[in-house]
A and B are shown apart, each in its own frame.
Chain A
């Protein structure tokens, strides 16, 4: 195969591999479900596999977007699953105590209370990481472990069912024939991209991730930036918590958001953000989250036996991560995709390889002060 410059440019785009994997995964479904791509109108809203993927994937996209910024500062947030559970539990228990569960004011207040709890969790994480200097993985472990207990205390170990039409909207409702959650995700992603790429904020975040101390010395308030990203991440998790509990109209303190932190980290990695910090790609994360959700849906539709679910998932994830690694591609494809063996510079960010092999993506120059 000859490598034209255009093809080279395409395969070198940081979103090429995640998108390629997503497309392949979607196509895998077609032989098993011939009308996989068909979307039809049912009861005044669109219905189909693609709609389901976006609907069920929305909470993961949100959590992963928040996680992206935390990881960009060189941190990690393991507490998001617990925050999901706490937010859902608080909101649903407040709504279920109302005499009129469908009253808009009550629903908004309930969601406000839930999100406030999320902000507090985020402040706590940020405080521990930025002010106390505790390793992020340990600092956020505290809420990951304790938070689910808190959620269970709130729900009394029971599943709280609510019967509120307005609340059902955010995670299970439809607007303009599309799932309402798509709009929520679109707004959050758009705002995040605007704030990080149209202002200097993204640059500051990456700079803190690259070298926090150097950033501080050049006048960036790196601690404040860190606290901010943990709060942002917790709020994203909080909104995801609202969606998950709204989707089933119930708060399940035991299971809501269970292990979502791991899926979110995976989505971030698939999307090409380095776990070492210093660079990130929101678009990549969104694609990464869609890859994971599509994988889940694929397992259900092609009829993988229950016992082999996780093995199947693991195999796909390994393949995706290997494809992301320029070194692996260089060895296997021998320059077929424009990457010559031993050549410096790959397409996306290597999943596990050191950060020095990939060029900085997009408009964000990498600030490395050593």
Chain B
């Protein structure tokens, strides 16, 4: 399959290569100058390789990492992998060559990291994963993962749905429609799993997922699928969407069918992007489970600890909250993404 951003990748690749070369030079200079001072007060250097810039969530994530590195006074070497593993591996290799203090990256894919991570280990450079995990034969190849627990987001969605139903005064059987994310994507699989877990445990008799289909995490997908759902199952009580964008698309389909989103059909979504909060403040979404991209501050904290040789947990979960409709207006102005 063709990567739709080959051209950009090439352009960015050239720019990045130039940038890295420049960084390397600068680094040499600084290391020779600080070698006399036995490292005292030397800036910590963090190499960070991002997945790409495929969504608003990701852009917010990038901004957060950059801003908090600056705030912490670290020397950040940032590289954008443009969704390609080979770019990411070469970025990590160049971080190793530059002898950065800590390497952090958001893996593009789950497997295929052993070789490059072993190189980092051989040079005694600790590796921190952010947002997504990797599968590896040797657990010691990375120190920790800073990121969201998607399964828990699914569980939280189910829990907050209980509150939503109670508030709406809904009694008896609940017919749920689910808009899944891209088939095979970790957030889609795990959010569905977490939701089902709680449902099977606490609401085996009264809740039922009557329809479930992928909306590809997009607004257009959410709208089209929901329009079809409303035809085949006009009596849906609840919509659980794996992200805000599909929820926003579904809202339009519900309105086109002459129903009131947030009243006739209760809506719970995951993510918490700005447009989601706008829809919630209009009363069209009932609750949002946050999936926080702003993990920069937590990452910097972990990086410092790792550098100082402290032990950290294997999985540091992102600080996230759940929001009900009545909080929407108050939270909305502070949403950054």
Interface residues, chain A, CB within 8 Å of chain B? 32-33, 35-36, 42-43, 47-49, 52, 56, 82, 141-142, 144-146, 148-149, 152, 156-159, 161, 172, 244, 247-250, 252, 254-256, 296-297, 299-303, 306-307, 309
Contacts and interface: CB of A to CB of B under 8 A. Distances in A.
Contacts of A172: 252, 256
B219 A52 contact: no
A244 B232 contact: no
Nearest to A85: B4
B2 A157 contact: no
Given A33-B232, A149-B4, A300-B229, A159 B245 contact: yes
Nearest to A255: B218
A198 B257 CA distance: 40
B90 interface: no
Given A48-B231, A252-B218, A254-B55, 20 more contacts: A47-B257, A52-B224, A56-B227, A141-B2, A144-B2, A145-B3, A145-B5, A145-B6, A149-B5, A157-B54, A157-B58, A159-B56, A159-B219, A159-B275, A161-B278, A248-B220, A250-B219, A303-B232, A306-B180, A306-B183
Contacts of B214: 306, 309
B232 A301 contact: yes
Contact of B59 (A148, A157, A296): A157
B258 A247 contact: no
B223 interface: yes
B249 A161 contact: no
A309 B183 contact: yes
22 contacts: A33-B232, A42-B256, A48-B231, A142-B7, A145-B2, A145-B3, A149-B7, A157-B55, A158-B56, A161-B278, A247-B220, A247-B252, A248-B219, A248-B220, A250-B248, A254-B54, A255-B216, A299-B213, A300-B225, A307-B183, A309-B213, A309-B214
A157 B56 CA distance: 6
A307 to B, nearest CB: 6
Interface string B44-82: 000000000111101100000000000000000000000
Contacts of A307: 183
B212 interface: yes
B115 interface: no
Nearest to B2: A145
Interface in B244-269: 245, 248-249, 252, 256-258
A133 B216 CA distance: 38
A303 to B, nearest CB: 6
From B218, B220, B225, residue with most partner A Cβ within 10 Å: B220
Contacts of B4: 82, 144-145, 148-149
Nearest to A47: B257
Interface in B130-155: none
B8 interface: yes
A146 B8 contact: yes
A335 B2 CA distance: 43
Contacts of B227: 52, 56
A106 B12 CA distance: 34
Contact of B228 (A161, A254, A301): A301
Interface of B: 2-8, 53-56, 58-59, 180, 183, 211-214, 216, 218-221, 223-225, 227-229, 231-232, 245, 248-249, 252, 256-258, 275, 278
B213 A252 contact: no
A163 B212 CA distance: 30
Nearest to B274: A161
Contact of B231 (A33, A156, A256, A299): A33
Nearest to A310: B183
Contacts of B55: 157, 159, 254
Nearest to B225: A300
Contacts of B54: 157, 254
Given A33-B232, A145-B4, A252 B59 contact: no
Given A42-B257, A248-B252, A306-B214, A300 B224 contact: yes
Interface-centre pick from A82, A158, A247 (highest chain B CB count, 10 A): A158
Contacts of A36: 231
Tell which of B56, B212, B216, B228 has the most Cβ of chain A within 10 Å. B228
B56 A52 contact: no
B232 A302 contact: yes
Contacts of A35: 231
Contacts of B216: 255
Closest 4 CB pairs of A and B: A300-B228, A42-B258, A149-B8, A146-B7
Nearest to B178: A306
A23 to B, nearest CB: 18
A172 B248 CA distance: 14
Contacts of B2: 141, 144-145
A247 B227 CA distance: 13
A121 to B, nearest CB: 14
